[in-house]
Amino acid sequence: MNRPLIYGNTPTFLHASSVAKDLAQAANYHATIYGVPWEGAVTWGAYTGCELGPKVIRQCSERYSGYLPELDDIDVLSHYSLADAGDVSTIPADVPATMETIQSFASSLWASGTFPVGLGGDHGITYPVVRALGETTGKKIGIIHIDAHFDNNDESMGDEFGRGSPFARMYEYEQVRNESLVHLGIHGPRNKAVNGRSAKEAGAVTITIDKIRSAPDLKAFAKEVYDIAADGTDEVYLSICSDILDYAYNPGGPADANGLHPEQLLTLIHEFGSYGVCGMDFVEVYPQQDQNDFSSHFVTLAILYVLAGRLKKEGKA
Amino acid sequence: MNRPLIYGNTPTFLHASSVAKDLAQAANYHATIYGVPWEGAVTWGAYTGCELGPKVIRQCSERYSGYLPELDDIDVLSHYSLADAGDVSTIPADVPATMETIQSFASSLWASGTFPVGLGGDHGITYPVVRALGETTGKKIGIIHIDAHFDNNDESMGDEFGRGSPFARMYEYEQVRNESLVHLGIHGPRNKAVNGRSAKEAGAVTITIDKIRSAPDLKAFAKEVYDIAADGTDEVYLSICSDILDYAYNPGGPADANGLHPEQLLTLIHEFGSYGVCGMDFVEVYPQQDQNDFSSHFVTLAILYVLAGRLKKEGKA
Amino acid sequence: MNRPLIYGNTPTFLHASSVAKDLAQAANYHATIYGVPWEGAVTWGAYTGCELGPKVIRQCSERYSGYLPELDDIDVLSHYSLADAGDVSTIPADVPATMETIQSFASSLWASGTFPVGLGGDHGITYPVVRALGETTGKKIGIIHIDAHFDNNDESMGDEFGRGSPFARMYEYEQVRNESLVHLGIHGPRNKAVNGRSAKEAGAVTITIDKIRSAPDLKAFAKEVYDIAADGTDEVYLSICSDILDYAYNPGGPADANGLHPEQLLTLIHEFGSYGVCGMDFVEVYPQQDQNDFSSHFVTLAILYVLAGRLKKEGKA
Amino acid sequence: MNRPLIYGNTPTFLHASSVAKDLAQAANYHATIYGVPWEGAVTWGAYTGCELGPKVIRQCSERYSGYLPELDDIDVLSHYSLADAGDVSTIPADVPATMETIQSFASSLWASGTFPVGLGGDHGITYPVVRALGETTGKKIGIIHIDAHFDNNDESMGDEFGRGSPFARMYEYEQVRNESLVHLGIHGPRNKAVNGRSAKEAGAVTITIDKIRSAPDLKAFAKEVYDIAADGTDEVYLSICSDILDYAYNPGGPADANGLHPEQLLTLIHEFGSYGVCGMDFVEVYPQQDQNDFSSHFVTLAILYVLAGRLKKEGKA
Amino acid sequence: MNRPLIYGNTPTFLHASSVAKDLAQAANYHATIYGVPWEGAVTWGAYTGCELGPKVIRQCSERYSGYLPELDDIDVLSHYSLADAGDVSTIPADVPATMETIQSFASSLWASGTFPVGLGGDHGITYPVVRALGETTGKKIGIIHIDAHFDNNDESMGDEFGRGSPFARMYEYEQVRNESLVHLGIHGPRNKAVNGRSAKEAGAVTITIDKIRSAPDLKAFAKEVYDIAADGTDEVYLSICSDILDYAYNPGGPADANGLHPEQLLTLIHEFGSYGVCGMDFVEVYPQQDQNDFSSHFVTLAILYVLAGRLKKEGKA
Amino acid sequence: MNRPLIYGNTPTFLHASSVAKDLAQAANYHATIYGVPWEGAVTWGAYTGCELGPKVIRQCSERYSGYLPELDDIDVLSHYSLADAGDVSTIPADVPATMETIQSFASSLWASGTFPVGLGGDHGITYPVVRALGETTGKKIGIIHIDAHFDNNDESMGDEFGRGSPFARMYEYEQVRNESLVHLGIHGPRNKAVNGRSAKEAGAVTITIDKIRSAPDLKAFAKEVYDIAADGTDEVYLSICSDILDYAYNPGGPADANGLHPEQLLTLIHEFGSYGVCGMDFVEVYPQQDQNDFSSHFVTLAILYVLAGRLKKEGKA
């Protein structure tokens, strides 16, 4: 089998072409996947190892085609070309330098005009990616942040760029419009009251999981959410944390019950894709605690649903 | 970190204060958690070890705050003080003596006026707890029993107090009003036809899981259920068995498919809390078969949802 | 305990009587279970061992009665007698001979007039079973095929009878009416575009999982599906692949996210049973990757729901 | 099968007769097993749950006979009668009371003249058992303590009776002759230098694992060890901690590499039995982390080897 | 990769050529592997699934070459040609018919003159294989049976051909010389005293594991064992049960502690190969409980060590 | 607890001081640990994730002191100061650049005069480390390479720096004296005949595992091995691959049976340390397949044994 590899004998994501040697080539592809094998401070409990996410997600992706019969028979890969840009190089003992490397890497992708898809790594990677978008384009940014948790602590164990803090940094970043930053799906007592207050003070919009569940029409609801993020901004970025899913569907992550079911998350992000997002990431996949790699398999599905949404927007599906 | 311990280096439940040395002090707290590390006869298959439940539930609880953004931003622990009364002492080879000890322990808590929350242990613990309520207060009792199974066998392998029999004992106990004893969520062929007949003959009310699912409005449905339990009684007690959840959400327990999803159970018990229950237990958590401790993590959430309901009743939320 | 055994000390399915020594005796039972411990080519990844399915499913079934309180209190086994015909003998190195043995075995059951229930084994077993129905009875056949995947590849790694190909064979078999062959629940990118095209060209009917989810009334929807399969045919056969369930409910199988929840599948097949199916199978259970045997436990439930449907049809429930 | 039970449907240890209702009856049996389901402070890491030891050890023991072909064909149970005294009742939140209960329970057994065999529970249980021996009999005691660790910390997280401290208490107890207290098999950096110094200051004898390995004749070596423990004492007590075995043989316990192989430990304790020990315990078995219950199965073997040694001493083998 | 397959996409054992379609072709190969995917009655506990052994052993074998640097740099496959004859077809519900099929299959191999290597399946398969040798050749047979257990019960749960009984059948079979039947490595209390007596009464030779361990020179010891089996017989057959290894090395099997280490078993069987054995089997591998397939990987090594011994005998190594 | 961290909340190795911000400070410490979180091509089977080694090894090390009672009561950390230099930054998609970064990082440590201890990562990391030694010091180098495998393939899936090839590169590097390069412990058929020939042609010395086992005195044997490596060289470097241990002791790695026991490996490397090695690495630890982190815990022990050897050399122990 003559399959494309990204490094070692790890396949590229979903049979993509490798552009790891020259990021500028990403300009020739509709979408470009890249990995950020990064874990800063370890979260509570024995949940660790999310720097393995990019590799295991790619290994799992090899099983799949781009065909989604349930979405009007669309075959994403017959319309879209994919590139894989490899992984950002990280320096575990030097957080600021790593953040800069991520930003610089992401800037290349933003500049190329491709649709960038980041594979975490912990949630700390999202801030430099968004910052790269702001610095490269000068645009005003809205964010749809799908997660069980606010991730807006002032710092995480002393680290301003830690996994629990990216949205505190976003609040401070002038090119993010806080009123267009939506924390979507928030639930559960791993949050603290101060997190809710911080979001409110920053002007960000919190939509808890109960609001999603009580929506009579999930697609119409998705439109309302999107409109908040798009209001007053030039671009909408999408960031998904694995723990928005109930632990049954995300067994490797910290045990967060009472989350979304896969079909709910997929419906939401497919709609967001169809209204237009400029890039996305999927973070906090932990292969080490996930004996059948369920979370890693899910990521391919999530990315395909967003891309299928983009195709719908372009009138191809 | 100076954290409160309940025994050894096991933390108290959810940062509660320990009253293990003097149960009378429970009077000073809104709610009091206690454990009953008890397993009588082992159920079919390799499911065993639920006497570890109280310890592992406490260990998992340490991760959480009392903040539930999805429930109108309520922070349970800013309104309620929690005590942890430690564990009832059990004697594996002497069931009747253990039942008496549980009853005596629970009587102290009922007498104190706190809201008692029992952590099982198998379901056999519920009978002495309810009996303690009856003997201490002389009140008439209604029960909402959420479970996949009736647990009303005349005896369990020769033991009248076994895990499969507590509701047979309740039927016989004059201070429980059987017409206000609701078996809620019953389903599946681990039940036997005789169980359904026994419930009917005793006058108890059976509401199967299909009735929950076909309810057009789960909150209104919860009110109807509560009203049955409250009708003609002074107090309503709430007893939850882990296997009401589908096996995907309760991996340590016996493999019961076709159960509730977490959000359904949480909605029901939050509503029950808001209409008023006098105490509760959560039983049959099996850490040994549950590699990421999902069931144990869930228990903190369940307790917080009931307490948040109580706050709503008191007009605080 | 004097329990019926089927071989070794493996119990018969759900306390059935063994007719393994004389299949003709199946005529005396309402339904007859049989196993096909067969795995041809192994699917992608480390998912293997579905020849263990029949044994582990039987071992798990021993825990259950036939009582389903949630279905109007029906006790299936008080109305229906069950036989267990043992397992078809397979020859791993000789696929065609094994297919013939399966067909011959199934023919005996079809001829007896019992309701046959096959336990897989991989999906390759369904074709010889359906062929046996056609050859034995000369009837025209409709099929409700519940699965995430079409399983209609022209061949599977060179094997025309492989796990991914039974429905390609069905398309070619004149006694199956293709317009009455319903692929129900199809979803996800383990399918390829060619699979959808093949189904269309053959005239088969594809109903994706999104159609199931968007149905306002699942029971009415089931009737519509059944009518397609019954239209122009004499008999409707039901074939269920485990991976129609989301991976959380079917942990041993390949990691297919975005599947049905148990209550959805059970409702559908109960309805199909109530409108009339002539036989059924449940395939692709993998005990080796399923540490608490969730999938194997589920199979007993699925069979009971279909049989309860048949009882409803006969006016007994 | 009409098998003796000790509580619930847990069998007695190795088909023993239950004397749980009347400990005085232990006088009629050669040896008596009892459990102490106790875990005080949890040790470093996720190693917890050794209060499940007595139950799981008993469940595993059911598989065995008393026949040891490799030890001159001896059948221990044809010479020796076994009793099972059930479990000591513990009070997790009250360590001193639990220690007193253990001591009182053990005193009954010492008084009866049976050979008592304790199943832990953590190592904290050994002190009250030894103290019971001293108080009941007034005798001078030598101890062979087989372990990777000294367990002689002054206190364990503030608890003078904690798992890491029993031998600190022994040093202080006048009826233990410290010069006859042998720490055997000590190794590895979970010990601290202060532990070695404390042993030396107390006058206790430390024999590290390297001394065992370099012994040219393990049986002769065992005699030398025994003689140290017997010198100047009336009785020799044997206490075995599971972590003397390498982690490969004791997978549930904390990961201590570089331990004994099973045949080395069995040889040593068989010899000790043949020279005469008055009682024994086996502690710190953790079923929760030991997926095939290896450690629990091993305990039956260890006890049989000691009992076979006693038979040899009595000239029966 | 163009690799030889034996069935489905399961590779042949260690890159062998398939002769499954025509067993007579085995005559052209030095050695021929065949599988017997058979499990009769399940043994105590949850240990089941050894019919998966032949497939998983083959899958694991694919990783290896025939090169053994530690045995004088021998490359077994550069001297020996291997065939794979596929698996015997079994009928779970008909033990006698299965035994006849095994015997018939093995007879073809014995007649061909190849060196047959059987992969179990449970130990019940050894009797028909040995009987095939006797019937085909008319020779007198000695047996080296390496195992923790005698496997000589009169019957196993009513089955005379069950996993615990093959050597009872051997004792009765006139072409086996009982005085040349060596039970080697016997140990532990899963044996019963009656097993030792039966061996003695039959005239068989029992050499327990302690005799192996106390041998000053393991190679000289192997010669003595071999001589017993060769004395008065024409051929020596070798049968190895996985549980001769300590549980640490054989994690899938029932938990038998105190077994051999791999290097001890390998040394013994390499020597037996060098003195001459006519055929062998390796039985009771349980992939289901063995998460990293250790036991299955070991089998390739065991077979290579025996074949390397044969090469030494032929002067090739 | 105020514990030193190396990055995020990962502790430094064994309570070392961090010098990650300034490698030159390593000059002030006796030994310096550093990690190389690198995995090139994945080896056969599902064994992957050894880039997690450095982090998990550090997490496990936190449990330990430096005290080794079995080695003459030595407390390594009372004599030696340890530094932790953090992890080398790697670029998964650019192997040559990563190799250069490793070499540059290692050069800083070699230049500082500290004793460097590398934590792998796969075995590919050893070549740039050794090359750094040669380039920095200009010295002639001998190597003791302890492993089951030669790791001297000309290339690994096209990568000259892959995990299976570092010793092919060493053979070509002029500052390594091939006659002083000892492959120690080689065994098993994951090697190929070409590997043995390549070693011989290069002039390297192969000592298989059987030679270790048949040594009458392991310490004297270690001296002989050391002398080969020291002969004609200025420095001896020590490289240990986890799979030298039997799979029972190294459960996360590929399933290599027939390896060393821990006490054998520890004895050998302690002796090597006492004769003088200039640096070391321990590679190929796979936390993902090792549910209790046995291999990671072992690494602390291995490093302490080497350091204790160095102390002996310096007359401190």
E235-241 and E141-146: which strand pairing?
Answer: parallel
E residues 43-82 near C, CB within 8 Å?
Answer: 48-49, 51-52, 55-56, 59
Residue F172 CB neighbours (<10 A) = 12
| Residues in chain E closer than 8 A to D292 (CB atoms) | 247, 251, 255, 289
Q: CB distance from E193 to chain C under 8 Å? A: no
Distance (Å, rounded) from C-alpha E96 to C-alpha D96? 64
Residue B82 and residue B14 in contact, taking contact as beta carbons nearer than 8 Å: yes
> Is the pLDDT confidence value at E1 over 50?
no
**Buried/exposed F12-32: b ≥16 CB within 10 Å, e otherwise:** bbbbbbbbbeebebbeebbbb
Give the pLDDT confidence score for residue B311 in this predicted structure: 97
A-chain residue closest to F47, CA distance? A56
CA distance D312 to chain B (A): 33
Residue A211 and residue A186 in contact, taking contact as beta carbons nearer than 8 Å: no
Over residues C119-171, the pLDDT tens digits come to 999 999 999 999 999 999 999 999 999 999 999 999 988 889 999 999 999 99
CA distance A239 to chain B (A): 20
Over residues E75-123, the pLDDT tens digits come to 999 999 999 999 999 988 899 999 999 999 999 999 999 999 999 999 9
> Is the pLDDT confidence value at C1 over 60?
no
Six token digits for residue A75: 């075959």
Residue B229's identity, in one-letter code, is A
Over residues C266-292, the pLDDT tens digits come to 999 999 999 999 999 999 999 888 888
Give the pLDDT confidence score for residue A1 in this predicted structure: 45
- Which helix (DSSP H) or strand (DSSP E) does residue C97 occupy? helix C95-112
Six token digits for residue B150: 């009736």
Over residues E239-286, the pLDDT tens digits come to 999 999 999 999 988 889 999 999 999 999 999 999 999 999 999 999
Chains in contact with A via at least 3 Cβ–Cβ pairs below 8 Å: B, C, F
Q: CB distance from A219 to chain C under 8 Å? A: no
Residue E83 and residue E33 in contact, taking contact as beta carbons nearer than 8 Å: yes
> Is the pLDDT confidence value at B44 over 70?
no
* Through-space distance between the first and last CA atoms of chain C, rounded to whole angstroms: 31
Instruction: Kindly determine whether residue E69 and residue F192, on different chains, have CB atoms separated by under 8 Å.
Output: no
Give the pLDDT confidence score for residue B257 in this predicted structure: 93
Query: What average pLDDT is seen over chain F?
Result: 94
Q: From the centroid of its chain, how far is CA A307?
A: 13
Substitution target in E1, E64, E68, E291 with the highest count of F β-carbons within 10 Å is E68
Query: For every one of its 317 residues, what pLDDT tens digit does chain A have, with 9 covering 90 and above?
Result: 468 999 888 899 999 999 999 999 999 999 999 999 999 877 766 677 888 899 999 999 999 999 999 999 999 999 999 999 999 998 888 899 999 999 999 999 999 999 999 999 999 999 999 999 999 999 999 999 999 999 999 998 889 999 999 999 999 999 999 999 999 999 999 999 999 999 999 999 999 999 999 999 999 999 999 999 999 999 999 999 999 999 999 998 888 999 999 999 999 999 999 999 999 999 999 988 888 899 999 999 999 999 999 999 998 87
Q: CB distance from E100 to chain C under 8 Å? A: no
Over residues C56-109, the pLDDT tens digits come to 999 999 999 999 999 999 999 999 999 999 999 998 888 999 999 999 999 999
Cis peptide before B49 (omega within 30 of 0): no
Distance (Å, rounded) from C-alpha E43 to C-alpha F173? 57
Angle between the N-to-C axes of helices A53-61 and A294-313, in degrees from 0 to 180, rounded to the nearest 10: 70
Six token digits for residue A275: 């209204």
| Residues in chain A closer than 8 A to F23 (CB atoms) | none
Strand partners, D115: D31
Strand partners, B83: B17, B32
Residue D30 marked ligand-binding: no
**Which candidate from F69, F249, F300 shows the least CB-CB separation from D187?**
F69
Instruction: Kindly determine whether residue A191 and residue B294, on different chains, have CB atoms separated by under 8 Å.
Output: no
Residue C151 marked ligand-binding: yes
pLDDT-derived band at B45, boundaries 50, 70, 90:
low
Unique residue bearing structure tokens 């594991």? E209
Over residues B216-246, the pLDDT tens digits come to 999 999 999 999 999 999 999 999 999 999 9
B-chain residue closest to D91, CA distance? B89
| Residues in chain A closer than 8 A to B217 (CB atoms) | none
Over residues D120-161, the pLDDT tens digits come to 999 999 999 999 999 999 999 999 999 999 999 999 888 999
Residue F179's identity, in one-letter code, is E
Unique residue bearing structure tokens 């519940």? C146
Distance (Å, rounded) from C-alpha F143 to C-alpha F225? 10
Distance (Å, rounded) from C-alpha A310 to C-alpha A277? 8
Distance (Å, rounded) from C-alpha F93 to C-alpha F59? 27
Six token digits for residue A31: 């979408």
Q: DSSP letters along A42-81, please?
A: PPSSS---GGGHHHHHHHHHTT--SEETTTTTEEHHHH--
Q: How far is CA D46 from CA B60, B292, D42, F15, F96, in A?
A: 12, 11, 8, 20, 40
Q: What's the average model confidence in pLDDT over F294-308?
A: 97
Cα atoms in the Cβ-side hemisphere of radius 13 Å centred on C34 = 31
**Buried/exposed C224-263: b ≥16 CB within 10 Å, e otherwise:** ebbebbbeebebbbbbbbbbbbbbbbbbbbbbbbbbbbbb
* Total CB pairs under 8 A between chain B and C: 82
Unique residue bearing structure tokens 């007994």? C316
Distance (Å, rounded) from C-alpha A161 to C-alpha D299? 50
Q: Please report, for chain B, how many H helices and E strands are present, in that order.
A: 10, 13
Over residues D251-290, the pLDDT tens digits come to 988 889 999 999 999 999 999 999 999 999 999 999 888 8
Q: From the centroid of its chain, how far is CA E111?
A: 19
- Residue C137, class by beta-carbon neighbours within 10 Å (0-12 exposed, 13-18 middle, 19+ buried)? middle
Whole-number percent of chain E with pLDDT over 70: 98
Residue B196's identity, in one-letter code, is G
Distance (Å, rounded) from C-alpha A75 to C-alpha A304? 9
| Residues in chain C closer than 8 A to B289 (CB atoms) | 291-292
Residue C241 marked ligand-binding: yes
- Residue F94, class by beta-carbon neighbours within 10 Å (0-12 exposed, 13-18 middle, 19+ buried)? middle
Whole-number percent of chain B with pLDDT over 90: 85
Q: CB distance from A208 to chain F under 8 Å? A: no
> Is the pLDDT confidence value at D112 over 70?
yes
- Residue E131, class by beta-carbon neighbours within 10 Å (0-12 exposed, 13-18 middle, 19+ buried)? buried
Cα atoms in the Cβ-side hemisphere of radius 13 Å centred on B310 = 23
- Residue C17, class by beta-carbon neighbours within 10 Å (0-12 exposed, 13-18 middle, 19+ buried)? middle
| Residues in chain A closer than 8 A to F295 (CB atoms) | none
Chains in contact with B via at least 3 Cβ–Cβ pairs below 8 Å: A, C, D
Over residues F211-255, the pLDDT tens digits come to 999 999 999 999 999 999 999 999 999 999 999 999 999 998 888
Give the pLDDT confidence score for residue F46 in this predicted structure: 64
Residue B60 marked ligand-binding: no
Q: What is the Cα Rg of chain D in Å?
A: 18
Instruction: Report the 3 state secondary structure along C204-258.
Output: CEEEEHHHHHCCCCHHHHHHHHHHHHHCCCCEEEEEEEHHHECCCCCCCCCCCCC
**Which candidate from E67, E246, E297 shows the least CB-CB separation from F257?**
E297
Distance (Å, rounded) from C-alpha B264 to C-alpha D9? 34
Distance (Å, rounded) from C-alpha E262 to C-alpha C179? 60
Query: What average pLDDT is seen over chain E?
Result: 95
Q: What's the average model confidence in pLDDT over D48-66?
A: 92
Angle at B187 between CA B182 and CA B189, to 5 degrees: 130
What domains can be seen in chain A, in order of their start residue? Answer: 5-313 (3.40.800.10)
C residues 251-310 near B, CB within 8 Å?
Answer: 261-263, 266, 291-294, 297-298, 300-301, 304
What are the phi and psi torsion angles at B123 (to 5°)? -70, -15
Q: CB distance from F21 to chain A under 8 Å? A: yes
Q: From the centroid of its chain, how far is CA E45?
A: 23
